[in-house]
């Protein structure tokens, strides 16, 4: 199936999440582009893989024939049909990794051949620039070796942590969907600057860098965000006046509610 010591990675489904994982792994040198094979029913998403130097196909089973580590990156409602199609090609040598939101390990194990090594992973869009946040959980037949291989590969995409499966839907709410909340905040931050007279292009750059710098300080200092926020808030200064406006607008509660409803929705999708 593959040369000894040479990892071959397959993607059944070629959407943005799959593209992000592939791009991160190739850029970090974890896998050669020529050793990646992606399948999709049309050419619409395969172009991104071809531009990266990866091989593509319209045959899902071909991915299983040529790759040992296979990501299932289809839409959740399509996954049962896809698994039915590819199951005859799955062997005990394969490591199957599902990226489908809401589809539990129990459901996957019921749909896959007995003994299949399966893991469930939830990346987010910034994996495309190697700054993603990824969590994964393993099924009953996946061991330390499979978990270590997956973590090594996905660490090329950013932060990668193994967690209990119950955390995955929460991760969807805070990080998978959370990037959209951050984009909305960045947009509002930049529009505030435009309102006060700054050119839009410069405002967008400064807003993005502000978010990047703030996030990096949280990660590198290990300080709680509340402590860092307090450090910026000089008594009687501009920041505390601005924070008062955000509190009046219930920013904190609104964001917490957004994480909650996204998590609940992810759980609902898993019950379908």
Question: Residue 212: pLDDT above 70?
Answer: yes
d(CA 196, CA 66): 57
Give me the percent of the chain exceeding a pLDDT of 90. Answer: 82
232-263: per-residue pLDDT in tens? 999 999 999 999 999 999 999 999 999 999 99
pLDDT tens for each residue of 38-71:
999 988 889 999 999 999 999 999 999 999 999 9
Q: Which residues have CB under 8 Å from 131's CB, separation 6+?
A: 158
DSSP state of 119: E
Phi-psi region of 248 (alpha: psi -120 to 50; beta: other; left: phi over 0): alpha
C-alpha to C-alpha distances, 118 to 107, 113, 174, 202, nearest whole angstrom: 11, 10, 24, 46
- Give me the pLDDT at residue 2, please: 47
Question: For residue 272, what pLDDT band results from cuts at 50, 70 and 90?
Answer: low
Which 8-state DSSP code applies to residue 57? E
Query: Is the per-residue pLDDT at 136 higher than 80?
Result: yes
DSSP states of 140-196: TT--HHHHHHHHHHHGGGEEEEE--THHHHHHIIIIITHHHHHHHHHHHHHHHHHHT
Segment 116-141 shows an average pLDDT of: 93
């Amino acid at each position: 199936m593959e040369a000894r010591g040479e990892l071959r990675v397959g993607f059944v489904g070629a959407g943005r999440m799959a593209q992000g994982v592939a791009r991160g792994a190739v850029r970090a040198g974890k896998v050669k582009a020529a050793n990646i094979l992606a399948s999709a029913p049309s050419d619409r998403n395969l172009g991104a893989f071809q531009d990266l130097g990866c091989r593509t196909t319209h045959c899902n089973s071909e991915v299983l024939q040529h790759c040992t580590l296979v990501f299932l990156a289809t839409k959740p409602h399509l996954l049962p049909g896809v698994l039915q199609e590819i199951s005859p090609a799955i062997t005990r040598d394969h490591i199957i990794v599902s990226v489908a939101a809401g589809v539990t390990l129990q459901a996957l194990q019921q749909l896959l051949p007995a003994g299949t090594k399966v893991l469930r992973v939830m990346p987010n869009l910034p994996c495309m620039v190697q700054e993603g946040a990824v969590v994964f959980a393993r099924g009953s037949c996946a061991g330390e070796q499979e978990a270590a291989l997956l973590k090594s590969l996905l660490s090329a995409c950013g932060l990668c942590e193994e967690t209990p499966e119950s955390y995955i839907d929460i991760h969807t709410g805070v990080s998978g969907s959370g990037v959209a909340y951050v984009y909305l905040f960045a947009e509002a931050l930049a529009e505030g600057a435009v309102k006060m007279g700054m050119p839009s292009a410069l405002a967008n750059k400064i807003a993005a860098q502000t978010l990047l710098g703030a996030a990096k300080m949280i990660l590198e200092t290990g300080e709680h965000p509340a402590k860092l926020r307090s450090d910026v808030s000089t008594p009687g200064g501009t920041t505390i006046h601005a924070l008062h406006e955000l509190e009046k607008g219930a920013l904190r509660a609104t964001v917490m509610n957004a994480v909650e409803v996204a998590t609940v929705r992810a759980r609902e999708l898993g019950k379908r």
